[in-house]
Amino acid sequence: MIDGKRVLGLILARGGSKGLPRKNVLPLAGKPLLAWTVKAARASVTLDRVVLSSDDDEIIRVAEAFGCEVPFRRPARLATDDTPGIDPVLHALDTIEGFDYVVLLQPTSPLRTAEDIDGTVRLCMSSDAPSCVSVVAVDKPPQWMYTLGEKRLRPIFPTESGLKRRQDAVPVYALNGAVYVADVHSLRRSRSFVTDATVGYVMPPERSADVDTALDLAWCELLLERARLGDTVHGGRST
């Protein structure tokens, strides 16, 4: 409990994955991918309870083996490719009542630490915001980005807004998918973790990897190996 508020940690991990089949249980540095998120969540000091929502037997077994609660099984209708991402969250909140805040943690962000979770929760509360999400600074300004239609480059921004030097660019951030925090009542009304009132918790690039492909998984493996050899890529209690 923090500031008199009860906080639920919720891990969503369904069995179906088209881009990288079975990615939630694929091995990463000696543990299933999912296990890294479970361990970070369990090390958090702001989460009162950590539960998994899944439709998959193997994923459930892995979560339980690493100490995560699985108090219910996600209905198949909420585990399809077309299921809106907010629906399994609201289902979990309907099933497990009595929490003031919910923290959504995706298994595809294995390098996020317990400190990142706690920092996002605390920023949400101290800002008196309905929600807070983790972000990472983008290394290329959007003025240097293009679409490609019929093999021709089309600037995203009009050419007159062009940027000559990176140093002149306004810092730009992207969601990194690691931590989503919301006041439960606000989330039920908005049905989204990101609104005009959402605040952002900045995480460094080395902890912002989001696993969608085999290359992403290999990159995480490299970063964790560097950490094992003494670098500070993956510090904190979630190791």
Q: Give residue-wise pLDDT tens across range 80-93.
A: 988 999 999 999 99
The model's pLDDT over 104-142, given as tens digits with 9 standing for 90+, comes to 999 999 999 999 999 999 999 999 999 999 999 998 888
Question: Crossing angle of helices 114-126/33-43, nearest 10°?
Answer: 50
Contact residues for 146 (Cβ-Cβ < 8 A; gap 6+): 153, 154, 155, 156
pLDDT at residue 234, rounded to an integer: 43
Output the pLDDT for position 47. Answer: 98
Which residues in the chain show pLDDT less than 50? Answer: 232-239
Of residues 183, 154, 212, 138, the one with CA closest to residue 3:
183
Give the pLDDT score at 105.
98
d(CA 111, CA 40): 9
What is the C-alpha to C-alpha distance for residues 203 and 101, in angstroms, rounded to an integer?
21
Provide the token pair at 17.
Answer: 């994955």
pTM to 2 decimals?
0.91
CB of 183 within 8 A of CB of 101? yes
Q: How many whole angstroms from its chain centre is CA 212?
A: 12
- Distance, in Å, from the CA atom of 32 to the CA atom of 56, rounded to the nearest integer, reads 14
Start-to-end Cα distance in the chain: 23
